[in-house]
Structure 1
Amino acid sequence: MQRNTLGKTGIEVSPLCIGTSPLANMGSLYGYEVTDARAVATIRSVFDSGINFLDTSNGYGEDGIAERRVGMAIRENGGLPDDFILQTKVDPDPETRDYSGARVRASVEESLDRLGIEHLPILALHDPEFMEQDGFAPGGALEALVAIRDAGIADHLAVASGSVEVSQRYLDTGEFDVVLNHNRFTLLNREAQGLFERARAAGLGVLNAAPYGGGMLAKGPEQQPKYCYDERDDAFADAAFAMAEACKRAGVPLIAAALQFSVRSPLVDSTVVGVSRPERVGQTLDLLEVQIPESLWEELETLVPDARI
């Protein structure tokens, strides 16, 4: 599979990165549960697919179940495949919501233990917009992350957030080599475009997560009334239905257009897509092979709403 260079990290990644949050039994988001066996089989399918990039997080599921399942798959596989890139994220304490420097260090220790590894190529600060403490304060999350990187436990730091403004504040420190934003660079929403443009100009790696907007651009606006896990506004609903109709006329699945919008963008190094079954890995790769006429891309651009989520 094609490889893209993740900014100045020099890391070569596939244009698809598989996300593991759907494997973490988070029913409030996804409405279903996944067994250990199915989760491990899904991750093993990623290992065998040509995709070389997996994203997980300390806070995905109760007691870090996503990381535990990734660790199980790594052990069953006899280790990570050659040149495989695994990234995880630090998260607050699930009970106290503590997000101090001490908690960041504990989060990393938990993750390494669950994953069964000693080193991470990329370590991300997860959802700092919800942080109750000041992450920039002395002894805070930022200071702890920098110390973890400087100790050689992680090679590069990323900020993973839904907030464009908060992401930019962390990038402005100069300590981060990668930015991950979710739900805000899709067929329907371009809120993160400026963030990605600035990151690209600074030589940073860019990861675009949730190109389906939480499922609406995968299942279709008739079946999924929410965008980014919340109720959509009228502008987004109207645009989604219009885009779905345009794709139908062109004989192109809406989900294929949504995925390729991100993958084909020169601003994006890798697109993070969650999967919940082994067969979804191959099906996602198949979506990249769908031929989409330039005329459809041009029509879809005229339908992008002005609304922001």
Structure 2
Amino acid sequence: MTNIPQHSIPDAGISTRPLGTTGLRITPLTIGGAPLAPMPGTFRDVPEETGVATALAALSGPVRALDTSAAYGAGESERRIGTAIRRLGGLPDDFVLSTKIVRDLNSGVFDGAQARRSITESLERLGLDKVPLLYLHDPEKNDFDQIMAPGGPVEVLRELRERGVARSIGVAGGDLATIERFVRTGYFDVLLTHNRWTLVNRSAGPLIDLAVSMNLGVVNAAVFGGQILATGVGGSRRYAYREASPELLAAIGAIEEACRDHGVPLAAAAVRFSTRDPRIASTVIGTSRPERIEETLALDATAVPDALWTDVDAIAARVDPTHLPA
């Protein structure tokens, strides 16, 4: 493993926010590393050198956070980020790199031994001996009691934090009821929710409120719901990785029309919806090419009139929760 050298942060004029009580400060945007590697059925394949170049641009640019997981491309996202870290000469000081321990991707087993294997392999791919933030990834796919059992993944995570392998630990997932159970344990520093706090889906609101009340930092991901809240209904018919219902498509179409009426790109509204929320420390935007980083910054810099938020809120309030992911 390599030690993390001390690098200064580029003076790009982007403010940072506290990430709960972790002591970390994070930029309002985080670059999402899932699209850096092949993930059939979810993201298009990205050539290795493009993935590495994108990771290098993320590590050396004004956005000072990058999120990945052992599950993204079966570790390939981490490996490409690790290559970029080595080319840069090490992970910059105060850069918030996050990764996630995961269940065995073949057997589905998620016990303490698997948690230890997961972080060991992640650190090897990244070329590091510690990370600022380490998540428990998609624990809803396994039994809650097993994950929480003595010697299980949560206990391993807490041990890794005590040993300094992870400065802070979080829980990242989609199923709101299950993730709430983990948040309520009081063991985690950060909540990451995805696809459930967007222009059209407000279901994570109570969970975000709970996390804030418990002093957790909140990170929000997948504000495009896949791609449909970036491209509109003409470019996609899927929300949160599955076919959207006619009712949900109608609501997204109405939001798209409201954005046109106010002269705001749909993608810009999707990003600003999250970054303007004072409860959310950082918003994860998946990026597959270096130029996408500047494009994302431009989206976040877009002025959005209050009248558009009023219109969008009214449309979202009419969406039947049964048409949204649980």
Q: SS state of the match for residue 135, structure 2?
A: strand
Contact 1:49–1:282 (8 Å) recurs in 2:
no
Paired residues in the alignment total 307
CA distance in 2, matches of 1:295, 1:306: 23
Q: SS state of the match for residue 303, structure 1?
A: helix
Match of 1:42 in 2: 54
Match of 2:22 in 1: 9
2:221 pairs with 1:209: yes
Of 74, 83, 86, 1:72 maps to: 83
For residue 44 of structure 1, report the CA deviation from its aligned partner: 1.4
1:145-224, aligned counterparts within 5 Å? 145-224=157-236
**CA-atom RMSD, angstroms?**
1.1
Gaps (5+ residues) in structure 2?
1-13
Gaps (5+ residues) in structure 1?
none
Q: SS state of the match for residue 214, structure 1?
A: coil
For residue 93 of structure 1, report the CA deviation from its aligned partner: 1.3
CA distance in 1, matches of 2:56, 2:163: 31
Q: SS state of the match for residue 148, structure 2?
A: coil
For residue 60 of structure 1, report the CA deviation from its aligned partner: 0.7
For residue 27 of structure 1, report the CA deviation from its aligned partner: 2.0
Contact 1:98–1:132 (8 Å) recurs in 2:
no
CA distance in 2, matches of 1:101, 1:193: 31
Contact 1:15–1:270 (8 Å) recurs in 2:
yes
Match of 1:87 in 2: 98
Q: Give, as a single letter, the amino acid of the residue that structure 2 aligns with 1:265.
A: D
Match of 2:4 in 1: none
Match of 1:112 in 2: 123
Q: SS state of the match for residue 97, structure 2?
A: strand
CA distance in 1, matches of 2:159, 2:301: 43
Contact 2:37–2:48 (8 Å) recurs in 1:
no
- The 1:284/1:33 distance shift into structure 2, 3 A limit, reads same
CA distance in 1, matches of 2:122, 2:82: 9
CA distance in 1, matches of 2:100, 2:60: 24
Contact 1:97–1:132 (8 Å) recurs in 2:
no
Of 302, 306, 309, 2:320 maps to: 306
CA distance in 2, matches of 1:102, 1:301: 45
CA distance in 2, matches of 1:113, 1:266: 36
Match of 2:11 in 1: none
For residue 92 of structure 1, report the CA deviation from its aligned partner: 1.1
Contact 2:229–2:252 (8 Å) recurs in 1:
yes
Q: SS state of the match for residue 122, structure 1?
A: strand
CA distance in 2, matches of 1:247, 1:109: 46
For residue 235 of structure 1, report the CA deviation from its aligned partner: 2.3
C-alpha deviations, 1:202-249, integer Å up to 9, x for none? Answer: 111000000011111011112110000011122211110001011111
Between stretches 166-175 and 71-80, larger displacement belongs to: 166-175
How does the TM-score come out when normalised to structure 2? 0.92
Q: Give, as a single letter, the amino acid of the residue that structure 2 aligns with 1:214.
A: G
How does the TM-score come out when normalised to structure 1? 0.97
For residue 81 of structure 1, report the CA deviation from its aligned partner: 2.1
For residue 139 of structure 1, report the CA deviation from its aligned partner: 2.1
Q: Give, as a single letter, the amino acid of the residue that structure 2 aligns with 1:19.
A: G
2:271 pairs with 1:262: no
Contact 1:99–1:132 (8 Å) recurs in 2:
no
Q: SS state of the match for residue 146, structure 1?
A: helix
Q: Give, as a single letter, the amino acid of the residue that structure 1 aligns with 2:195.
A: N
CA distance in 2, matches of 1:264, 1:290: 11
Q: SS state of the match for residue 175, structure 1?
A: coil
For residue 132 of structure 1, report the CA deviation from its aligned partner: 5.2
CA distance in 2, matches of 1:11, 1:127: 23
Contact 2:112–2:153 (8 Å) recurs in 1:
yes
For residue 48 of structure 1, report the CA deviation from its aligned partner: 2.8
Q: SS state of the match for residue 27, structure 1?
A: coil
For residue 291 of structure 1, report the CA deviation from its aligned partner: 1.4
